[in-house]
Amino acid sequence: MLQSLSIINYGPILLTLHLATISLAIMFMISMPLAWWLANTKSRLGRVVETLTALPLVLPPSVLGFYLLVFLGKGSFIGETWTSMTGEPLVFTFSGLVIASCIYSLPFVVQPLQAGFEALDKRTIEASLSLGASSLRTFLDVMLPNMRRSLVVASVLGFAHTVGEFGVVLMVGGNIPGETQVISIAIYEHVESIEYEAAHLLSLMLLAFSFVVLLAVYGTQGVKRESTIA
Amino acid sequence: MTSLTVNLKFRRLSFTLNLYAEIPGTGITVLLGPSGSGKTTLMRLIAGFEKADAGSICFGQNTWFNLDQGIDVPVRKRNVGVVFQDYALFQNMTVAQNIGYGVAKKVRPAAVTRWVERLNLSGLEKRYPSQLSGGQCQRVALARTLATNPDLLLLDEPFSAVDSHLRFQLRTQLIELVAAIKKPAILVTHDLEEARQVADWIGVITAGRLARFGAARDIFNDPGDYKTATVLGWRNLLPLTLNQDGSLSNFKISTKSRLAVGPWGQIQVNGIPESAKWLAIRAEHINLKRRSHSECALQVKVAGFRELGAVKELLCRLPDSTFLYIHCPWDVTLPSLGEMIMVHLPVQHLRVLGDEISLTGWRLRSLTSKDSDLGEVHAGYY
């Protein structure tokens, strides 16, 4: 067993965790105000933005990856601006991978948060404000604690989905060891090189990780159900 | 005494609120009206949860809202205390944390102790809202609001989610608290019993307009117009046709049934406007037995009855099929179904109403002593 573990290259695992952590942090920064707005707006623009945010759920990863390649690649406005600012291209780099991951996994963070905001008792927010609390205090002391389950689900799903993505990563990041080679790409490469043992170990790790993630999500739902019944 | 002046226009898809009101700076003002009339919207506008399309809100010398001047003081700076129908307690906080939420840290422990004792919440400080009964939740909500020492208290149907046997007790507690803090309170409700118990002032809102405003006793005693009367629970509203001379000798309750006062006795009503449309009397004021000379008697047919707890309701039909509702004590022996009986309407309790609010204050005078010598004012079929 130990001998088997020694054949694993831990670089892709660490890179994946690094990517998922950074992406999740960025997604939360974007998703919090976006989800709040989507939960409260009645405008048609809100429904358009909601649809755009949910697009990665139904688009084939290759399609999304292709368009990201077009819009972030050499010759594109975003790509050229980034290059002029940092001296590096966006595609086939870790930075490009982060942007692609954020876009691809965004609905998995936005939607639970939006549901959480929608489920909040608006009266408690109004009560807090009428008691003299600032908007920030109301957000931290009243809103966030009452949407803990949504925060857990958004974190777990956003992180897990970034860990497991393949198509978009391959299109935008390619397969550069130490730079863009994440676990799913590493498994693909092991299979192509007929290194089934290494592929097997990495796949088992992802399988176990996915199981734990789903267990965590359903676990919080179970707790919610019990507390509701009680 | 700091009064609240509200002059607002607020329009949404199917609803328009357009009213002017001066709410006294003392006691409890009850905003009464049917569902969808705009009373809760008005309260939310005053609190600052909603923004009006035009107008102003002034509390004493302070302008909270004035669209023309670009003034819109945020909710948290208006220092209003709001008590919600469903309590709106913070579920993640204990009773003590809820009560102390709006209080400055330095004085928080003392304020919590004071209001816990004041509202009989001792021993519950460490419990969460989910571990409390409805009555306890409402007392926590009241304590949380009062702990901030608000300038104005706003209560949105505060006792509607509480068991009926607790309501009376909570209302009594509210009256005492408002008297003690010496700040004005506005309570929104559609519950007449609640309004009767707590109101110093009544504002009747119908279809986004303030139909009546005044001292509770006056408003309950004399609704003035048809809509207000229905909101205030006047069940007997009989269509009325007056003669041009304003005398009642020939006035009709309806086309077939004449309330014939006759030449021998007149109930003088000086200057009743032609717009008088309704004769009104409360169900509890109609008697099955004659009690004085100052009564009109009507012959009616018993059409039904039902138990209403403390009273029995007798449903009687006038010849033109108009119904009269009569509330009798629970121990009275009721006539049989279909029986023709005489019922007695004390003149001092009769009111003349218009369709609009212009008839406020009109009421039938009691018979004069001279008139009363003439005997009972009688009605029947002619």
Q: In the listed set B221, B247, B263, which residue is the last one of a domain according to the structure?
A: B221
Asked if residue B156 and residue B255 are part of one domain, the reply reads no
How many structural domains does chain B have?
Answer: 2
B337 burial type by CB count under 10 A (0-12 exposed, 13-18 middle, 19+ buried)? exposed
Q: Does B90 touch chain A (CB under 8 A)?
A: yes
Q: Which tops the pLDDT comparison, A29 or B210? A: A29
CB pair distance less than 8 Å for B88 and A134? no
Q: In the listed set B221, B237, B272, which residue is the last one of a domain according to the structure?
A: B221
Contact between B156 and B86 under an 8 Å Cβ cutoff? The reply is: no
What pLDDT score was predicted for residue B295? 63
Q: Among A123, A141, A145, whose Cβ lies nearest the Cβ of B84? A: A123
Amino acid identity, residue B161?
A: A
Q: Which tops the pLDDT comparison, A230 or B65? A: B65
Q: What is the CATH number of the domain that holds B21?
A: 3.40.50.300
Q: Among B74, B86, B148, whose Cβ lies nearest the Cβ of A131? A: B148
In A, minimum Cα distance to B49 occurs at A126
pLDDT tens-digit series, residues A21-38: 999 999 999 999 999 999
What pLDDT score was predicted for residue B237? 86
What pLDDT score was predicted for residue B357? 54
Q: Indicate the pairing of strand B4-12 with strand B54-59.
A: antiparallel
| B187 phi/psi in degrees, rounded to 5 | -120, 125
Q: Distance between CA B97 and CA B252 in Å, rounded?
A: 64
What pLDDT score was predicted for residue A7? 66
DSSP B49: S
Residue B107 pLDDT > 90, yes or no?
yes
Q: Which residues is B342 bridged to in the sheet?
A: B299
Asked if residue B336 and residue B240 are part of one domain, the reply reads yes
Q: Among B49, B79, B90, whose Cβ lies nearest the Cβ of A126? A: B49
Q: Which tops the pLDDT comparison, A21 or B332? A: A21
Segment A188-201 mean pLDDT: 85
Q: What is the CATH number of the domain that holds B359?
A: 2.40.50.140
Q: Does B101 touch chain A (CB under 8 A)?
A: yes
Residue B253 pLDDT > 60, yes or no?
no
Segment B261-272 mean pLDDT: 41
Contact between B174 and B207 under an 8 Å Cβ cutoff? The reply is: no
CB pair distance less than 8 Å for B90 and A123? no
B38 burial type by CB count under 10 A (0-12 exposed, 13-18 middle, 19+ buried)? buried
CB pair distance less than 8 Å for B76 and A129? yes
pLDDT tens-digit series, residues B13-43: 677 888 788 888 888 999 998 888 888 889 9
> pLDDT band for position B227 (50/70/90)?
confident
> pLDDT band for position A143 (50/70/90)?
very high
> Residue A149 has which token pair?
């389950």
Q: Which tops the pLDDT comparison, B197 or A177? A: B197
Distance from CA of A149 to the nearest CA of B (A): 13
What pLDDT score was predicted for residue B245? 59
Asked if residue B98 and residue B137 are part of one domain, the reply reads yes
Q: What percent of chain B has pLDDT over 90?
A: 29
Q: Domains along chain A?
A: 11-184 (1.10.3720.10)
Residue B99 pLDDT > 80, yes or no?
yes
pLDDT tens-digit series, residues A94-119: 888 899 999 999 999 999 999 999 99
In B, minimum Cα distance to A130 occurs at B76
Asked if residue B282 and residue B353 are part of one domain, the reply reads yes
What pLDDT score was predicted for residue B261? 43
> pLDDT band for position B378 (50/70/90)?
very low
| Statement: the pTM of the whole predicted model exceeds 0.80 | no
**Long-range contact set of residues B8-14: C-beta below 8 Å, sequence gap at least 24:** B8/B42, B8/B45, B8/B52, B8/B54, B8/B55, B8/B56, B8/B57, B9/B52, B9/B53, B9/B54, B9/B55, B10/B38, B10/B41, B10/B45, B10/B50, B10/B52, B10/B53, B10/B208, B11/B53
Q: In the listed set B170, B193, B221, which residue is the last one of a domain according to the structure?
A: B221
Residue A203 pLDDT > 70, yes or no?
yes
Asked if residue B154 and residue B32 are part of one domain, the reply reads yes
What pLDDT score was predicted for residue B242? 60
Segment B65-85 mean pLDDT: 91
Amino acid identity, residue B253?
A: I
Asked if residue B300 and residue B175 are part of one domain, the reply reads no
CA distances in angstroms from B264 to A122, B64, B251, B260, B290, listed in the order given = 66, 60, 15, 10, 19
Segment B126-149 mean pLDDT: 92
> pLDDT band for position B327 (50/70/90)?
very high
Considering only CB atoms, which chain A residues are within 8 Å of B76?
129-134
What pLDDT score was predicted for residue B348? 77
DSSP B293: S
Which residue spans within chain B are E strands per DSSP? Answer: 4-12, 15-23, 28-32, 54-59, 62-66, 71-72, 80-83, 152-156, 185-189, 201-206, 209-215, 236-239, 276-281, 295-308, 311-317, 323-329, 340-346, 351-354, 377-378
Q: Distance between CA B89 and CA B338 in Å, rounded?
A: 54
CB pair distance less than 8 Å for B76 and A123? no
CB pair distance less than 8 Å for B92 and A146? yes
CB pair distance less than 8 Å for A127 and B86? no
Domain that holds residue B213: 4-221
Q: Among A124, A130, A145, whose Cβ lies nearest the Cβ of B76? A: A130
> pLDDT band for position B75 (50/70/90)?
very high
Asked if residue B175 and residue B44 are part of one domain, the reply reads yes
